[in-house]
Each structure stands twice: as structure tokens, then as C-alpha cells.
Structure 1
């Protein structure tokens, strides 16, 4: 297949590119030299979509691009970057698909479980009404721009991704650091939901979508077994053989991170209802199983 990928140099993107190396990949990146060193010279690299007028010839588009949502404190400027780093490239891809005579047959676009906002201890699925918070506003517009590409020639799949667990990067790399220092533990009361997925299962789910032409629409990319922040902290501490007894108070996070602290003090228990109904099987359904694979020792 001829595949166009945005966000290929990120944590998820690197694993995805490796899994698709037998195909012809065109990777959009702002730094072609750096990304080619990271991903290899066997792919085509372009620094922008601006020179394209259509996507004729591409079989598939996978859109993972976006400024990391927890990279910096949420100033107005950073919020603008979080939004438009997702919205603008997604809008451009949709426009290119619509302007194609022979468009890609499938467009897979990322989103996040932040779409739902804070739901306390409620279990949510793809049909649960969202709370109107900043994370929802980001994801709702992001998804809407992608879905506009849906037609009788192009099916659109949107992945509402949870916390992606894997080696050598992602959220887990930052989360485990306090544990190695003996400072790990739950955040606040620890009851907020943490919806997670092993990186291998996320890549497997993307391949499942590629291979199944009947699959389209919104999918939660999360394990069937979300856990509380407290349970996650205990499991991570056991996995790295470190204590998980210290509690990070909510007020301290609010001072340190401002509005962005909501991502750590609030959460969702998200179920992958549509993926399961479509016949997808998770390899790592339990958190302890996933962490044991990542930290085998």
C-alpha cells in the first residue's frame, strides 16, 4: 500500500512506522533529516502538506500529528498551539481527500479520551455524552474535521486514545520517574479513572481498522479494564519494585500546572465498546499484564 502518515516521529508513530515498513510510506515531518535518522532512510519524507493539491495514489492516510498536551503549562498561547497543531493539519487532509478523484480508501485520525471530560467514577463508552471542558473542545473539533472526509469512497476511523503504555517513551516514561526516586504514589484521593492501552494493542487496533473495510466511525482505543489512579500507582510501583505510598495533593498540582492539572486530578473510566463489538481482541487486557511486559524484571 501507499500510505501517508503524519506524526510518524512521535512515540506512537515510531512503532506504527516500524509495523508498516513493508509498505511505501510518505511521512510528513518538520525536520526531514532528524526524522529520517530516527525512522530510517527507506521511506519518503515531506516537510508539509501545503504543496499537495490532492491525495490521488494514496491508499491510506494515518493522522497522528499534534502538540503534546502535557508538554507545557496551558497559557493562552499553548492552548492555541494544542488546538491548531491538530485542527489545521486534519482540516488540510480532509480538504485534500475531498479534492481527490481517487481518494484514499481509509483515513485513520487520532483523538483522545479527553473528549469525554471528567465523569468521576462513571463507566463511559462511545455513546456517553461529554462534559464541555477544554479537552473536549479540542477533541470535538479535531474529530469533526476528520469525519468530514467520510464518503462512499473513503471511510474514516477516529481513535479516542487513552494513556499509551510502552517502553522508551510516552506518558509512562514521565510517570515512572518519581517511583524510581521513591516518591511515587496516587494523585489526590486516587479515585480518578485512568484509561490505558498497551502500545502493541494500539498498533494492532490500527492494523485491525486497516484490514476491515466495514469498520468506520469513533472507537475508544483503551483497554477493557480501566483502573483508578490509586490502583495504577500501586501496580506501577510493584512493576518497578518501588514504593507507592506518597500522595501528591491536588492543591500542589494546581499551583504547579494550573488548569493543566485537571488531566491528572480528573479522569475517565473508558470502555472500548465498539472495538470489542467489531471483534477486536486485546492482547493486554489487564494492567499488571501490560506492565509486566514493559518491565519484565
Structure 2
């Protein structure tokens, strides 16, 4: 298949592109800058959709970027980075002489775990120093997914014609609490993980609205993802962390 991936230069996009190419598909990325195997968003708007069998949109500013203050400007950036790219792709698909057979929009997934990026990148240093621990009470649910499985679910959705509707991008063992996750990461690193990060610090760094996402959590079960026949490579947290840290 020829697959167009919007926002394909990021952490998830790179993993998805590698997997698709390994499965024999041809990948074109849509990004801000031109390059080999890429087109820009401006080119998509002016020249239209390149011929493709499937389109995926992964574009979007990281809402939990700790280096950005949660002010009105950043809130607008988070929204527009998702809405404008989705609108642009949707318009291009509508005008295309031959529309793609599959169209996937990635809007909400669990905490993505993998080497070289994602949530683990921010956690490793304090945990390696023995300063890691649960966030707030630690009793909140902590839905997570290995990067390999997130890319796998997306590839499965593109390749299997019966897959439709909303799929939750989380691991089956996503009833993990934040404290259990901290303990598992500490174990994988051979370090203690009992120093909690107080709620007040989380609120100070992320702002009250964003802090809710980290302090309250959400219980998510991927029933429909499993029902499509997708086989997880990393269904259990311990094995997923071991592979990442190895």
C-alpha cells in the first residue's frame, strides 16, 4: 500500500513508518519541512493529495510538554495543531480523484513507552538516580502502551478491511495504577521508586488543568482493539519496560 502519514517525523510516526516499510508498504510523510520521501502541509494544501491507498494523521503538539506553560497561546497551539492538519487532510481527501481506502486519525492514546522518546525520556533520569516514585497519591489509573504495539495497531487497522470505528491505543494490562507503574520501572532499573512527586509540584509545573490528566488518570480497556484480532507484542508492563531499558 501507499500510505500518507501526517506528522510522521515524530516519535510515533517514525515507529509507524519503519514498521510499514518493513511490511513492504511505501510511505510518504507530511511535515513542516521538505525532504526525501516527504511533502509539506503547504504542498498538500496547494497541490492536493498525492496518490495513496491510506492516510494517517499523527500531527499534534504534545499537550504534556513540561517546557511549555499552559497559557492561552499554548492551548490554541495544541488545538490548532490537531484541527487544522485534520481539516487540511480531510479537504485533500474530498477533492482527490481517487480517495484512499483507509483514513486514520490518532487523537488519544495511553502513555506511549519506547526507546529514544515518549514519556520514558522524561522519567529515566530521576528513576536512575533512585529519586523516582508515584505521582500524587499513586492510586490513579495509568493507561500505557508500548510504541511497538501502538504502531502495530495502526498498521493492523490499515491492512485489515474489517477494522472500523474507535480503537483504544492502550495495553490490555492498562488497569495499572501509577504507583504500580513506578514500582515496575524502578524494578526494571534496579532502583528504589518510593519518593512521591507531590500534587502541588505537578500543578505548579503543568498548571491545574493539565495536572488533572496526571493526578486523576483514567481506566481504559482496549476491548474493541482486541476484538479486531490484534495480537499484542507487549501486553504486560514488566516485559515492555525490560525491552525498552535493555
Match of residue 191 from structure 2: 242
Deviation per CA, 1:38-80, whole angstroms, max 9, x where unpaired? xxx4x24335322134x36211101100011112121011000
Displacement of 1:94 in angstroms is: 1.2
C-alpha distance in structure 1 between counterparts of 2:41 and 2:90, whole Å: 18
Displacement of 1:250 in angstroms is: 0.6
Match of residue 135 from structure 1: none
- Paired residue for 2:134, among 163, 186, 190? 186
Contact 2:16 2:155 in 1 (8 A): no
C-alpha distance in structure 1 between counterparts of 2:86 and 2:46, whole Å: 15
Contact 1:26 1:46 in 2 (8 A): no
> In structure 2, the residue corresponding to 1:284 is in which secondary structure?
coil
Match of residue 266 from structure 1: 216
Task: Within 5 Å, give how 1:11-22 maps onto structure 2.
Answer: 11-21=11-21, 22=24
| Structure 1, 95-104 or 204-213: larger mean CA deviation | 95-104
Match of residue 103 from structure 1: 99
C-alpha distance in structure 1 between counterparts of 2:206 and 2:51, whole Å: 45
C-alpha distance in structure 2 between counterparts of 1:60 and 1:245, whole Å: 46
> In structure 1, the residue corresponding to 2:193 is in which secondary structure?
coil
Deviation per CA, 1:6-56, whole angstroms, max 9, x where unpaired? 111111111111122343322111123xxx4xxxx4x24335322134x36
C-alpha distance in structure 2 between counterparts of 1:255 and 1:83, whole Å: 22
Displacement of 1:257 in angstroms is: 2.2
**Superposition TM-score, scaled by structure 2 size:** 0.92
> In structure 2, the residue corresponding to 1:225 is in which secondary structure?
coil
- Paired residue for 2:180, among 195, 215, 231? 231
Displacement of 1:263 in angstroms is: 2.3
Match of residue 64 from structure 1: 58
Match of residue 26 from structure 1: 28
Higher strand proportion: 1
Contact 1:4 1:58 in 2 (8 A): yes
Task: Within 5 Å, give how 1:196-215 maps onto structure 2.
Answer: 196-215=144-163
Cα 1:44/1:247, change in 2 over 3 Å: closer
Q: 1:222 and 2:170 equivalent? A: yes
Cα 1:44/1:249, change in 2 over 3 Å: closer
Contact 2:56 2:103 in 1 (8 A): yes
Match of residue 8 from structure 1: 8
> In structure 1, the residue corresponding to 2:151 is in which secondary structure?
helix
Name structure 2 gaps, 5 residues minimum.
none
Task: Within 5 Å, give how 1:109-120 maps onto structure 2.
Answer: 109-112=105-108
Contact 1:3 1:61 in 2 (8 A): yes
Alignment RMSD: 1.5
Match of residue 122 from structure 2: 174
Q: How many residues align?
A: 239
> In structure 1, the residue corresponding to 2:73 is in which secondary structure?
helix
Name structure 1 gaps, 5 residues minimum.
113-160
Match of residue 45 from structure 2: 50
Displacement of 1:174 in angstroms is: 0.6
> In structure 2, the residue corresponding to 1:197 is in which secondary structure?
strand
